[in-house]
Amino acid sequence: MKNNTVKTIVAIGIGAALFFVLGRFVAIPSPVPNTNISIQYGLLAFMAALFGPVAGALIGLIGHALIDFSYGWGIWWSWVIASACFGALIGLVSKRLHLDDGSFETKDCLMFNLFQLCSHAIAWIVIAPVLDILMYQEPANKVFLQGLVGGASNIVTTAIVGTLLCIAYASSRPKKGSLKQEQ
């Protein structure tokens, strides 16, 4: 159990650092102000699927807070919380995927993508805009447009990057039951 805890803590640190680098330096501006097309959510979904909801939440929270801080405008907590919620939600599916068993079949791919779609919708079309309105008194039409554009682009990038990471990882693991003990 201790080994899993250490492994998870290391994964949180590495995941948050990679989330920051991808979100800060690989972000593509969208036509909607203060909204980027981001590939770091594919990484977050993959890490959350491997290490669970707590790791997913912390990677999203720490990574997104670092991105906002590095831009110098302060931390936009409504979106940081939404990133943490996305990480936690996608981490809940981890027990249903078979990544460590060396298996990521079509049904796993569909489940991963259905779950990431729903998690992004909750995070960006509900949580982030509602918190923007409650915390920062932002205009509803502005924040719901930002959430919709951010959520849609995150769904697409997660479907590509997250799925490819899951496939690559699962294919690098021995299939469950494929190794037999010699007698």
Distance CA 84, CA 91 (A): 10
What pLDDT score was predicted for residue 73?
Answer: 86
> Which domains are present in the chain?
2-172 (1.10.1760.20)
What pLDDT score was predicted for residue 122?
Answer: 98
What pLDDT score was predicted for residue 179?
Answer: 55
Distance CA 90, CA 86 (A): 6
| 102, containing H or E segment | none
pLDDT digits (tens, 9 = 90+) for 6-55: 999 999 999 999 999 999 999 999 999 888 999 999 999 999 999 999 99
Instruction: Tell me how crowded residue 174 is: count the other CB atoms within 10 A of its CB.
Output: 10
Distance of CA 59 to the CA centre of its chain: 8
Tell me if residue 75 falls in helix, strand or coil: coil
Distance CA 33, CA 171 (A): 39
pLDDT digits (tens, 9 = 90+) for 78-134: 999 999 999 999 999 877 887 888 889 999 999 999 999 999 999 999 999 999 999
Residue 157: pLDDT band (50, 70, 90) is: very high
Q: State the amino acid at position 51 in one-letter form.
A: F
What pLDDT score was predicted for residue 57?
Answer: 98
In the chain, count H helices and then E strands. Answer: 8, 2
C-beta of residue 123 within 8 angstroms of C-beta of residue 86: yes
Paired tokens of 79:
């979106």
